[in-house]
Structure 1
Amino acid sequence: MNRLAAAVFLTLCAAPVAHAADDLPGMATDPAAGAAGHPGWALQVTPYLWATGIEGDISPFRRAPTLHVEKSFSDVMDDFNFGGFINIWGRHDNFVLSGDIMYVDTTESHATGPLAAFQIPGLGRIPAGASVDADVDTQEFMATLQGGYRVLDTPEFTLDALGGARFWYISNDVSVTARHPLIGTVTASHEESFGWVDPIIGARLFVSLTDKLSLHGQADIGGFGAGSDLTWSVLATVNYTFTDNLSVSAGYKVLDVDYKHDGHVFDTRLSGPVLGLTYRF
């Protein structure tokens, strides 16, 4: 998929940052009425575009050399195969539910060498000084699920306390070609996956500015050594309401994780603008 097609796909797949009502970031109306026919209920679904860059350190398989990655959004799109982002927000009375799901598939080529001697799965030990070409296909899945309670509720301002878990799954399919006078040219493929769960705590703030315009902020922090050493995220958007069911929002999102365990390294920060189009049921 070329860069333009990928961008179009993400745009169509995009939007879960805005929401209707102070229940759902994006609509500056009173959510107390709830969804039609369901007093006290409010629910929104938002696919969204996240023009994210990435920076950090990644090891494609256990005890492999750690690679430093620093890419802009355009660089990410060069390697992009498939992906999507979706957000869900719901409330019943003072109880709230938040969900955010991300899936991205990318392929990146690396040419490294000469290297110190190290072990490549399927190739055995590569002599010091070997040159290595590798294609790394990475599939990354993340889901953040939180529940909570509305601790402050006024027509202009709401504050929710949240707690839950962030689930990570990383799969790397590495195709390697190594060249050295002692071994000639050898090739192999290796697939490896790993995952973990991070406990998180967070909060969500909604401020109504006018009947149509609002601000939304959400942040969380977690890991605490239970999965990753540390993970945190921050989202801030400006939201505009078109109808009772439809709103749009734009802002900025950062997602950071520092995971190092059993030879695996995934220490990255994703950050960039977000654009969402939300439908409220």
Structure 2
Amino acid sequence: MAARIIFNPTAGNGKARQLMESIQGLLPDDVEVVTTQYPGHAVELAREVAENEEMTVISLGGDGTHHEVINGLMPTAKATFAVLPAGTGNDFVRMLGYPTNPAEMLQIALMGPTRRLDVGRVNDQYFLTVSGVGFDAEVAGWVNRHEKHGNGTWVFLRAILKHLAQYRSQPVTVTVDGASREHMTFLIAVGNSRYYAGGMLMCPEAGLDNGLFHVIWVRQLSRLAVLPLLARVFRGSHVKHPAVETFLAAELTVTGPQHLLVHADGEIIGHLPATFSIVPEAIRVRVGRPV
């Protein structure tokens, strides 16, 4: 089976280049490597082969690169999808069971078993991990504008600390199954998978193949309450906090102040309003072990 590796050389502050160097000599003859040249290029490169059922499209980069590739493959996604993780957060691959050894990782990406997995959609963008509104979107926007030195967790924590003093909760309305509620809101996270921001277990009940989002709605918080709550996110115990509501949904709409950013897979994709919907079993993905 032929494969195309979509390689983002800027991903992971050098990690992507290192990974490519380590696997270069291991690539079979029927594997094509194409290099992204500008933001959005991975979408175009994936779209060129999205209709090829015999093709495996491998995203070599971070979650932002994977986000672009999946938006190139969707909505038809006849090609098989795989990843070679080399970014800041590497959150999508956490649920795929890939090995960490580059040679073994490549073997899974090329020949591993496949599973049909869900893809999320927010407005006109598709996403793999988590999409959301509020504080985390502001943090994601800052991270994407700055150099990502260090591991993913510390990069995001630095951005969190920077925004704590200035961010204010906003009035946000959530509509599910025709019923609407409004609350002052710190953030809303809509999870297709469990992790974001370099390993934060934001949506612990999310599954990549259950046809539902795990939605986390964090109401207004005092500044002193934010850091203790965020510390609980790494264990997934934040869901028990009195300011946190969780629920499962296949579709929801979020409205509020139009200046509020919306992120998907850590990439800023626009502003409110936002409609989120799950696309069940949308894409065939190579996995290392059961997800």
TM-score (structure 1 length as normaliser): 0.24
Which is higher, the Rg of structure 1 or of structure 2?
Answer: 1
Larger proportion of helix = 2
Larger proportion of strand = 1
TM-score (structure 2 length as normaliser): 0.23
